[in-house]
Structure 1
Amino acid sequence: MRILFTTYAEKTHFLGMVPLAWALRNAGHEVMVASQPALTEAITGAGLTAAPVGADHGLYEIMKRIDGRGVRFDFAEQRPEILTWEFLSAGYRDLVSWWFRMVNEPMIDDLVGLCRRWRPDLVLWEPVSYAGSIAATAIGVTHARVMWSVDLFTRMRRHFLRLGEQQPADQRCDPLADWLGTRVGRYGGQFSEVMTTGHFTIDTVPDSLRHDPRLDLDLDHRYLPMRYIPYNGTSVVPPWLRTPPQRPRVALTLGTFSTETLDGYAVSVPEILGALADLPVEVVATLPERQQEQLGPIPDNVRAVPFAPLNALAPTCAAVINHGSNGTFCTTLVHGVPQLVVPFFFQGRPLADYLAGQGAGLTISTGEVTGPAVRAAVSRLLDEPDFARNAGRLADEMRALPSPCDLVPQIEKLTR
C-alpha cells in the first residue's frame, strides 16, 4: 500500500506519528509525509520521505500578537451550563475562521494535487489537519486520524450535533461542515461526518483514560489502541545523563511550543526553581538558552540544559514537572514516573485530572501555581510511595497495548 501521513507544520504532532510511520514502512508499505515546508527538516531527520505542500501558515505570529496560549474555545469544557448552543455555535465559528482554516488552507490545493498524482491507499492525519481529510475524500480513499490528545474533538462535535438537532431549522448552523463541504466540493467531493473523524482513529492514551466515565467519551467510533513509543526527534544523550544521579532527580520540562512559537511559559520558572532549592534533590530544567539568560542566578541543585531527550531523562527521575502535552505526559507515564502536571493548553487538563484520579500524580492549575505549591506537591510525589506504585501500574497498562508493528495488520484490513 501507499500511505500518506499529513500534518500542518506542528513538530510535536508529527513526532507522535513517527513510530507508526516506521512500522508501516518496515512492513513493506510506501510511506510519505506531507506538510508545510517548515516541517521538512524534521521529517527527513526522522528518516522519512517529505513532500512539502503549500506555504507555511502564520498562526503562531498571530498568537504572539494576541498573547494567545492555546485555543480560545475550550474543548475540555464539560459543564452543562456552559455547553449551550450559543456557546458551541460561536465556538465553532471562531475555530474554523482562525485555527482550522489558517493552518489548513495554505496546503489543501497542493495536497490534493499530490494525492491525485501519487494515489495513496490510506491518508493518516492528526485531528486538526483537515487538509488530509479533504484530500482523501477528494480522491475517494480511506483516511484516519492519529491522535495527539484525548479525543476531545469528537466529544465536542457530538455535543454540537446533538444540540443542533434541537434548534429550529432556521437557526441551525454548522461552520465546520460548511467549510469542509465547500473545500472538498471544489474537487468534486461531498461532505460527510466521517470527514471530521476519519474512518477510524489510532489512539495512544491508556484504555483506562479512554473509558474514564468522567470524560463522557462513549463515542460511536472505531478506535485502534496503540502503545505509545517515545520519540524526541534527532537527539544526543549527554554524558551527565549516562551517570546515575546521586540524589533523587526531578525534571522540569515545560515543552518547546511556548518558547519556540510563543513568547514564554505560563508560569514563573525562577519561582519554581527557587522553591525547590532547599529540597535534597537534583533538578534538571530543560530551558532554551534564551530563557536561561533571563533566569539570573540559579540554585546550586539545578542543572539547566537547553534540551535533553525525555525518553532518556524520564527513566532517571523520581518525579517530572510538566505542562501536560501528550508527548511529555505519555513518555513520562510509560516509564512509570509520577508527575506534577501544570496544564497550559486544553488537552492537558483531562490528562492531569486522570493522572491525579489514578493516584499517579498531582496537578495544579496555572492560575494557582506558586513556588510553595510546587514544592509541596513535589515533596508528596517523592515521599508517598503510592504515587510511584500507581504510576508503575499505568505504565504496565500502556505497555500492554499493541505496538505500532502489532497494529499494522489491523490498519491493512481496515484500509482494504
Structure 2
Amino acid sequence: MRILFTVNPGTSIFQAMVPLAWALRTAGHEVRFASRPAFAEEITRAGLTAVPAGRDFDLGRILDWTGTNPFEDVRPGLPAPWDIIDTPGEVPWDVAVEKYERYVEEVEKPENFPLIGGLVEFARSWRPDLVIWEPLSCAGAIAAKACGAAHARILWGLDVFGVAREHFLRLMAEQPAQARRDPLGEWLGGYARKYGSEFTEDMVCGHFTIDQFPVSLQLEAAGLHYERMQYIPYNGPSTVPSWLWKKPERPRIALTLGITATDIFDGYTLDTQDVLDSLADLDIEVVATIADTEKAKLRHVPANARLLPFVPLHVLAPTCDAVIHHAGPGTLATVSRYGVPQIAVPYSFDEPRFADLLQDTGAAVRIPDGAVSGRAIREQVVRLLEDPSFADGAQRLRQEIERLPTPNEMVPRLEELTAVHRPSDEPRAVGV
C-alpha cells in the first residue's frame, strides 16, 4: 500500500506519529510524510521521507498579532469548541454554532489553508491508498476525499475533537431545519465540492480513528470507530548519558514540563526555583529537564538536583520512582508505559482532563492549577514515595497499556480497514 501521513508543524505531535509510520514502512509499505516546507527537516531527521507541500505559515506569529490562542477563548461566555463536552446539556445552540465558527476561522483555516492545494496536488499524483492525519491537519481528509483514498485520524491526545463534534451534531439535530448550521461541515464541504465530491462526516473524524491511549485515559465519541494501539515513545535523535547507565543510589524524581510551554506559550506556569528548593532537603535525586531560557531565571541549583535541557524520557522514566509533569499527552503516556507513579500539574488544553483521568487510575495525583506550589509538590512527592498504592496503580495502568497492540501489530488491521473504506481498486479519478 501507499500511505500518506499529514501533520501541521509541531514537534510533539509529529513525534507521536513516527512509530506507526515506521511500522508501516518496515512492513513493506510505501510511506510519505507531508507537511509545510519548513518542517521537512524535522521529518527527515526521523528517517522518514518528507513531502514539502503548500507554503509556510507562522500561526504563532498571527496568533500573537491577533491576541488569540486557539486553545483558550478570550471572550467571556464563549468557550472553545471542545468545552461543550463539560456541560453538553447546558450549551445554547447559538453559542455552539459560534464556537465552531471561531474554531474554523481561527484554527482550521489558518492551520490548513497553506497546505491544502499542494497536498491535494501531490495526493492526486501519488494516489495513496490510505491517508493518516492528526486532528489539526484535516487537510489530509480533504486530500483523501479528492483522490479517493481511505483515511484515518491518529490521536496524539484526548479526543476532545470527536466528543465535541458528537455533542454538536446532537444539538443540531434538535433544531428546526431552518435553524441548523454547521460551520465546520460547510467549510470542509466547500473543498469537497471544489475537488469533485460532497461533504461527508468522515471528513471531520476520518473513516476510523487510531487511538494511542487505553480506555482509562481517553474520552470517546459513541458513534466513532476507534482502533487502539500502544503509544511507543519517540523523542527524536538522542543519546543515553553515562549517568543513566546505572541504577540511582537514592530515589530518583524527574521534573519535566514539556516543550510546548516554552515553544508556544510564555514559559512554565509554576515557579521552578520554588519546586527545586522545596525538594532540596529530601534524600532524593531530582532530575529536571529545564529549558535554557527557564534555567537562566534560577538563582541557584540545590545540591540534589541535576538540570538538563533534554534527556530522552523513555530512557529516564524507567529509572525513576516518581515523575512530576504537566500532563502533556506524550509525557503522560511515556511515564505510564513504564509503570511509574506521577504528579500532574496541568496548565492548558486537554491537560486538566488528562490529569483527572490519570488520577482516577490510582497511578497519580493531580495538583489543581491554583494550588500548585513547591510545598504542595513536596507533600505529594513524599506521599508517592511512602504509599505503595500508587506504585500498584501505576503497574495496573502499565499492564492495561501492554495489552494493546503495538504499531507493528496494528499494520494488518490497517490493511483490512483500508480495503473496506477505499472506494475501489480500480483507477481513481485524478481530475475534476
TM-score (norm 1): 0.95
Residue 193 in 1 paired to residue 201 in 2? yes
User: Match for 2:136 among 124, 128, 131?
Assistant: 128
Separation in 2, partners of 1:123, 1:201: 12
2:98 counterpart residue number:
90
1:64/1:263 contact within 8 Å kept: no
Residue 345 in 1 paired to residue 352 in 2? no
User: Match for 1:164 among 167, 172, 185?
Assistant: 172
Aligned to 1:244, what secondary structure does the other structure show?
Answer: coil
User: What amino acid sits opposite 1:164 in the alignment?
Assistant: M
User: What amino acid sits opposite 1:354 in the alignment?
Assistant: L
Aligned to 2:354, what secondary structure does the other structure show?
Answer: helix
User: What amino acid sits opposite 2:381 in the alignment?
Assistant: V
User: Match for 2:82 among 75, 79, 104?
Assistant: 75
Separation in 2, partners of 1:355, 1:64: 32
User: Match for 1:230 among 230, 233, 238?
Assistant: 233
**1:103 to 1:149, Cα distance in 2 relative to 1, 3 A:** same
Percent of counterpart pairs with the same letter? Answer: 47
State the shift of 1:56 in Å: 2.4
State the shift of 1:64 in Å: 4.3
2:3 counterpart residue number:
3
Which segment drifts farther, 83-92 or 121-130? 83-92
**1:265 to 1:74, Cα distance in 2 relative to 1, 3 A:** farther
What 5-or-longer segments of structure 1 have no aligned partner?
none
Superimposed CA distance per residue, residues 244-274 of structure 1 (whole angstroms, 9 cap, x where no aligned partner)? 2221111111111111223212222222222
Aligned to 1:75, what secondary structure does the other structure show?
Answer: helix
Separation in 1, partners of 2:302, 2:255: 14
* Residue correspondences, number: 411
Residue 392 in 1 paired to residue 395 in 2? yes
Aligned to 1:324, what secondary structure does the other structure show?
Answer: coil
User: Match for 1:325 among 323, 328, 340?
Assistant: 328
User: What amino acid sits opposite 1:92 in the alignment?
Assistant: Y
2:12 counterpart residue number:
12
2:294 counterpart residue number:
291
State the shift of 1:371 in Å: 1.7
- For residues 7-46 of structure 1, the aligned pairs below 5 Å read 7-46=7-46
Residue 219 in 1 paired to residue 244 in 2? no
1:336 counterpart residue number:
339
2:268 counterpart residue number:
265
Separation in 1, partners of 2:64, 2:323: 28
2:244 counterpart residue number:
241
What 5-or-longer segments of structure 2 have no aligned partner?
74-79, 420-432
Separation in 2, partners of 1:361, 1:231: 23
Aligned to 2:324, what secondary structure does the other structure show?
Answer: strand
Superimposed CA distance per residue, residues 334-373 of structure 1 (whole angstroms, 9 cap, x where no aligned partner)? 0001111112222222221111111110112223212211
Superimposed CA distance per residue, residues 209-235 of structure 1 (whole angstroms, 9 cap, x where no aligned partner)? 34xxxx5x3512211110111111111
User: What amino acid sits opposite 1:83 in the alignment?
Assistant: V
2:33/2:49 contact within 8 Å kept: yes
Separation in 2, partners of 1:319, 1:136: 43
State the shift of 1:186 in Å: 1.8
Separation in 1, partners of 2:98, 2:371: 29
Separation in 2, partners of 1:291, 1:70: 23
Separation in 1, partners of 2:279, 2:374: 8
User: What amino acid sits opposite 2:16 in the alignment?
Assistant: G
1:100 counterpart residue number:
108
1:9/1:56 contact within 8 Å kept: no
State the shift of 1:155 in Å: 0.8
2:255 counterpart residue number:
252
2:131/2:144 contact within 8 Å kept: yes
State the shift of 1:127 in Å: 1.2
Which segment drifts farther, 307-316 or 355-364? 355-364
State the shift of 1:150 in Å: 2.0
Superimposed CA distance per residue, residues 5-64 of structure 1 (whole angstroms, 9 cap, x where no aligned partner)? 001001111111111111111111000000112321221111100011112232222444
TM-score (norm 2): 0.91
1:318/1:382 contact within 8 Å kept: yes
User: Match for 1:142 among 138, 150, 156?
Assistant: 150
RMSD, matched Cα = 1.7
User: What amino acid sits opposite 1:372 in the alignment?
Assistant: R
1:135/1:184 contact within 8 Å kept: no
1:61 counterpart residue number:
61
Separation in 2, partners of 1:57, 1:265: 26
Separation in 2, partners of 1:334, 1:84: 40
Which segment drifts farther, 70-79 or 51-60? 70-79
Separation in 2, partners of 1:82, 1:343: 25
